[in-house]
Amino acid sequence: MSLRDNKNMDGRLRADVAERKDAFVLKNFFRRKRALHDFAEDAFLSFVRITRFHNASEDKCVRELIVDGKYTLSYNESVDWKKRFKERLIPIASAGGASRCSVLALIGRESEKPHSLLLMKRTMEVDSHRGQICFPGGYREEGDESLSYTALRETFEEIGVAKENVEVVGALQPVLTRGSVSILPFIGFIDFPIEFTLSRSEVERLFFLPLGELVKNPLRNIEVMTESGVKFKGPTLIWEGETVWGATARMLVELREHLVASQFSEDD
C-alpha cells in the first residue's frame, strides 16, 4: 500500500544526517526512492520541510530515511555506483565540440585498496604549465580520429599505458583554461597494478587520489601563486603535499559531483 493510500499517515519522518556528504544528493536520492516505493508528493514535501533541505550545508545529506516505520532506505545501500556514474557522463560519441585538447582521468583499484584517481606532476622542462598537477593528455594532432583517441595516444606517450588497458566510459564538460584553450576530459577505468613508463622530460611523478577522499573533501576556493608569479583564486585541492588548481581542479569538481550523485561506495 502506498503512502498516498494510507489515510492514517501522520507524516512522521526521521532522518539521520551524516557529515561529509553532499546535500544536493538528497533530492534526487529521495525522488528516486519515492518513484520506486510510490511515495506521495505530500510525503516528500513534508520530508523537505522537516529536514530543512533548502538550508542544509553542502557537506550534509540524508544517510537513512524511515517513513512511518514502513521503509528503511540507506545512502550506502548495495548499488552499482559505476553504472550510475557512467550514465551521468557525456557519451563519447557526443563529446568534443570546439575543444582542441583532451585529457584522460584514469580510475582504478588494486586488490583491496581503495578506488583511486591517477594524477601526474609535470616537469619544469615542458613549455607550459611547469610543475603543475594534471591528467595525461594534449593537443589533437593530424591523424587523430577523435579527441578520445588523442587522450589515449597522449596517455601512452606520457605514462606508458596502452589503450588496450583502458575502458573509456564517457566525458566531463569541456573546461576552459586561463589561456582560453578548451580541454575535454575523458574518464577511463583501468585495472591496477599496471606498469607505468614515464616520459621523463614531461612527467616528474605520478600519484593517486583515493575517490573516497575526493568525495569527503570538497574543493575549496584558495588563493595560489601561479608559475609565472600571478595570484589565482579558485577551486583547489591539496593532496600528498601537491596543490591541484586551475583547469584540473575544475574537472575534479565535476567528477566529484558525479561520484556523490552516483552514491560512490568502496563496498561495491
Confidence class for position 254, pLDDT limits 50, 70, 90: very high
3-state helix, strand, coil in the chain (%, to 5): 30, 30, 40
Cα gap 153→146, rounded to integer Å = 11
Percent of the chain with pLDDT over 70: 67
pLDDT at 16 over 50: no
pLDDT at res. 96: 79
Q: Which of 132, 130, 128, 171 is nearest to 149 (CA)?
A: 171
Confidence class for position 267, pLDDT limits 50, 70, 90: low
Q: CB–CB of 175/247 below 8 Å? A: yes
Q: Which of 145, 143, 162 is nearest to 104 (CA)?
A: 162
pLDDT at 261 over 70: yes
- Give me the phi and psi of 72, to 5 degrees please: -120, 120
Give residue for cell 565535476: 254
Q: What is the residue type of 223?
A: E
pLDDT tens-digit map of 40-99? 444 444 444 334 333 333 333 333 333 333 333 333 334 588 999 999 999 999 987 788
List alpha helices for 89-224, DSSP H. Answer: 147-159, 211-216
pLDDT at 193 over 60: yes
pLDDT at 104 over 90: yes
pLDDT at res. 153: 98
Dihedral of alpha carbons 60, 208, 235, 185, sign: negative
Q: Which of 109, 136, 254 is nearest to 204 (CA)?
A: 136
List alpha helices for 16-129, DSSP H. Answer: 24-37, 41-51, 81-88
Pick the CATH number of 83-261 from 1.10.10.10, 3.90.79.10, 3.30.930.10, 2.40.30.10: 3.90.79.10
Query: What's the pTM?
Result: 0.70
Q: What rounded mean pLDDT belongs to the chain?
A: 75
pLDDT at res. 224: 80
pLDDT at res. 227: 65
Q: Which of 84, 3, 82 is nearest to 44 (CA)?
A: 3
Higher pLDDT, 207 or 129: 207
Q: What residue ranges do the domains of the chain occupy?
A: 13-77, 83-261
Whether cis (ω within 30° of 0) applies to the bond prior to 193 is yes
pLDDT at res. 266: 74
Confidence class for position 132, pLDDT limits 50, 70, 90: confident
Strand 182-191 and strand 175-176: the pairing is antiparallel
CB hemisphere CA count around 82 (13 angstroms) = 14
pLDDT tens-digit map of 144-177? 999 999 999 999 999 999 999 999 999 999 999 8
- Give me the phi and psi of 28, to 5 degrees please: -65, -35
**Residues ≥6 apart with Cβ < 8 Å to 116:** 107, 108, 109, 192, 208, 209, 210, 211
Give residue for cell 587520489: 209
